[in-house]
């Protein structure tokens, strides 16, 4: 198997390599791709060093799969060029997620949406992945009527520069290189991505549109608020979900416990609940604080946490790759 990693020197790209190595995936030829500024850099995989190359070089190689994590503009331009060569693209950007011809895939939920002719497969937004992982089994059992989600997102979702800003603020009280409009240390900023005309941000609307597509409910009522907080371990979400049908709490817990890739951590007597500090480095989606919403019928509250660089990005892409190779 020959694989290209586009954006191999970025946070998600390096995590993809780490996950591939952890899972013992045999790669005959690896092509780590980055920008010209990274030429001369070497990337390690399973004890071997590989030279970083450019997109125009990688697309001419005998590549089977290309894992993209270099931003939407790169994916828009280059994913079709790789696909035209017969290379299967698994794209981590937002470029192809809402394209009707591209499946938006979380393998545990909708792997069957990938057809034999799909050469570009979209990896969902990090916040969406952990959200639908917790919701999909409950939707199948009880039918979601309305969804309200608030996210508390790690700065790693913004990238290395955001981590550097927070670290500088913690050392010096301020940062001279501001990724955010305000200090992030000792702060939370209700502003993830760009604002749109409707007053929501792009990140919030990704949660709306992507959740509908993955669950197969185009008109599902969803509203979201996305907040950036000064943590690095993962994203957290407060979820309030109303169902069409009545449920009992034992069934909710049982369904989540039986869901592949989900860990229930919900023992309030012993202060056990998901936290980003415990999610870092893990591939599972952690669910806790599960409780009935007493303000209206058939409604549930949950707290969901996952490492946004792993299951929220790199691990989900690698899991897609693994399932495709099994097929």
Helix (H) or strand (E) holding 58, with range, is helix 55-58
* Cα–Cα separations (whole angstroms), residue 78 to 55, 67, 68: 8, 12, 9
3-state secondary structure of 221: coil
E strand residue ranges, the chain: 2-6, 29-33, 42-45, 48-51, 65-68, 88-91, 120-122, 144-153, 222-228, 235-243, 262-264, 285-292, 299-306
| Cα–Cα separations (whole angstroms), residue 294 to 92, 240, 242, 299 | 38, 11, 11, 8
What's the gap between Cα 76 and its chain centre?
19
Angstrom distance (rounded) from CA 109 to CA 160: 30
Which whole-number Å values give the CA distances from 278 to 128, 159, 175, 283, in the listed order? 20, 20, 27, 11
Distance CA 262, CA 108 (A): 10
Closest by Cα among 120, 114, 80 to 97: 120
Catalytic residue numbers, as ranges: 126, 235
Tokens of 288: 């806790």
| Cβ 92 vs Cβ 123: under 8 Å | yes
Tell me the torsion sign for CA atoms 141, 106, 16, 74: negative
């Amino acid at each position: 198997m020959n694989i290209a990693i586009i954006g191999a020197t970025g946070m998600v790209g390096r995590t993809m390599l780490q996950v591939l190595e952890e899972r013992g995936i045999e790669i005959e030829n690896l092509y780590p791709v980055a920008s010209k500024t990274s030429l001369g850099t070497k990337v390690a995989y399973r004890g071997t060093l590989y030279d970083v190359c450019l997109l125009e070089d990688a697309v001419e190689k005998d590549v089977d799969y290309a894992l993209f994590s270099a931003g939407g503009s790169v994916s828009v331009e280059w994913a079709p060029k790789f696909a035209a060569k017969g290379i299967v693209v698994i794209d981590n950007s937002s470029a192809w997620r809402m394209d009707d011809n591209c499946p938006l895939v979380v393998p545990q939920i909708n792997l069957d949406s990938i057809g034999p002719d799909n050469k570009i497969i979209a990896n969902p937004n990090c916040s969406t992945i952990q959200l639908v992982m917790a919701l999909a089994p409950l939707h199948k059992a009880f039918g979601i009527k309305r969804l309200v989600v608030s996210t508390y997102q790690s700065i790693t979702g913004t990238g290395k520069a955001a981590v550097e800003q927070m670290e500088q603020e913690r050392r010096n009280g301020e940062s001279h290189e501001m990724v955010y409009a305000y200090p992030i240390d000792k702060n939370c900023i209700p502003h993830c991505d760009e604002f749109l005309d409707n007053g929501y941000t792009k990140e919030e609307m990704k949660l709306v549109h992507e959740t509908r597509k993955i669950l197969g409910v185009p008109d599902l009522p969803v509203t979201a608020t996305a907040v950036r907080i000064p943590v690095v371990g993962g994203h957290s979400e407060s979820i309030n979900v109303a169902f069409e049908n009545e449920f009992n709490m034992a069934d909710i817990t049982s369904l989540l416990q039986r869901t592949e890739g989900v860990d229930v951590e919900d023992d309030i007597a012993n202060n056990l609940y998901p936290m980003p500090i415990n999610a870092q480095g893990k591939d599972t989606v952690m669910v806790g604080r599960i409780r009935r919403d007493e303000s209206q019928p058939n409604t549930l509250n949950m707290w969901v946490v996952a490492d946004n660089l792993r299951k929220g990005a790199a691990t989900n892409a690698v899991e897609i790759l693994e399932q495709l190779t099994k097929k």
